[in-house]
Amino acid sequence: MKIFTFEQVTSTQDLARNYLKQHLDKAAFVANSQTNGYGKQGRSFYAPANTGVYFSIAIPNFNLNPEKSELLTPAIATALVNTLNIFFPLITLQLKWVNDIYLNNKKVGGILTEFSSKGLIIGIGINISTQSFPQELQSKAGSITKHEFNRIELIRSLIDAANNAIITYDPGDFLPEYRRLSCTLNKKVTLKIGKKEIHGLAKDINNQGELVVKSNGKLHSYSSGEVIKVESK
Ligand code: BTN
């Protein structure tokens, strides 16, 4: 896959989206910093220089299997954690359903999936050594290490891992590992879907990647929504 690198961009998502308008091959866009990085629900994503990895993969004409569509981002998240574990073997990363990467109860990375009429754009942002965050993020965001890291090798490996997951997600072979990495399973959770909040016990992540929550004595499976609170049982 072609990899384009930049010092500073608005958002690598913008570059990937523009690329898809004129190209029919996959490509990755990496930036050292972003001035307008964003995440799910249009929230801004803090992406300062030198301390994080920020990239987007543009995939033209992606055929998302509708029955397995919820498996794509958890597969990528699992692959990213496996790769991060090789570079940073002393830490215990976890995944909050659906695809946020956590360390010590703080979010260190996220995945954003966007569709354009020309294909799929997967954006990945991971705080590797970011030490200071804007005030509003300080209690929620963290990073992986205080030390320098081999940026080029790490980014290359993460792109390879994500790309491999995009190719192989469909049978769901990664699911046992995804469940093992989950900090959501077997916890009391609050799931926000639109304006509605559901409180219950996260019992399972099923083979479609849905979160199975027990509330008011009944099991419900959810394919979307955001887990806004996780408490031990
Ligand atoms: C989230 O946590 O909601 C997803 C965050 C995704 C951030 C990455 S950084 C690279 C790419 N460019 C962006 O503007 N967003 C994604």
pLDDT tens, 147-167? 989 999 999 999 999 999 999
Ligand 1 centroid distance, CA of 123 (Å): 5
pLDDT of 67 reads: 86
CA distances from 1 to 59, 152, 159, 204 (A): 10, 15, 9, 35
pTM of the model: 0.96
Give the residue, by CA position, lying nearest to ligand 1 atom 14.
37
pLDDT of 233 reads: 65
Give the residue, by CA position, lying nearest to ligand 1 atom 11.
123
pLDDT tens digits, residue range 203-222? 999 999 999 999 999 999 99
pLDDT of 176 reads: 98
CA distances from 65 to 169, 170, 171 (A): 10, 8, 11
Give the residue, by CA position, lying nearest to ligand 1 atom 7.
125
Distance CA 168, CA 162 (A): 10
DSSP letter string over 34-86? Answer: ESS-B-GGG-B----TTSEEEEEEEEET----GGGGGGHHHHHHHHHHHHHHH
pLDDT of 36 reads: 98
Ligand 1 centroid distance, CA of 11 (Å): 8
Pocket, ligand 1, Cβ cutoff 6 A: 11-13, 34, 37-40, 45, 47, 54-56, 100, 110-112, 123-125
pLDDT of 66 reads: 85
CB 200, CB 214: distance < 8 Å: yes
Ligand 1 atom nearest to CA at 31: 10
Identify any residues that bridge with 30 across adjacent strands, giving them in sequence order: 5, 55
Beta strand pairing call for 218-222 and 27-34: unpaired
Ligand 1 centroid distance, CA of 44 (Å): 8
Ligand 1 atom nearest to CA at 52: 9
CB 185, CB 205: distance < 8 Å: yes
Whose CA is closest to 141, among 44, 33, 7? 44
Ligand 1 centroid distance, CA of 137 (Å): 15
Q: Could you say which DSSP state residue 187 is in?
A: S
Identify any residues that bridge with 226 across adjacent strands, giving them in sequence order: 192
Identify any residues that bridge with 230 across adjacent strands, giving them in sequence order: 189
Ligand 1 centroid distance, CA of 36 (Å): 10
CB 184, CB 211: distance < 8 Å: yes
Ligand 1 centroid distance, CA of 80 (Å): 14
pLDDT of 195 reads: 93
pLDDT averaged over consecutive 10-residue blocks of the chain (233 residues)?
98 98 97 97 96 98 88 97 97 97 97 94 98 96 95 97 96 97 96 95 96 97 93 75
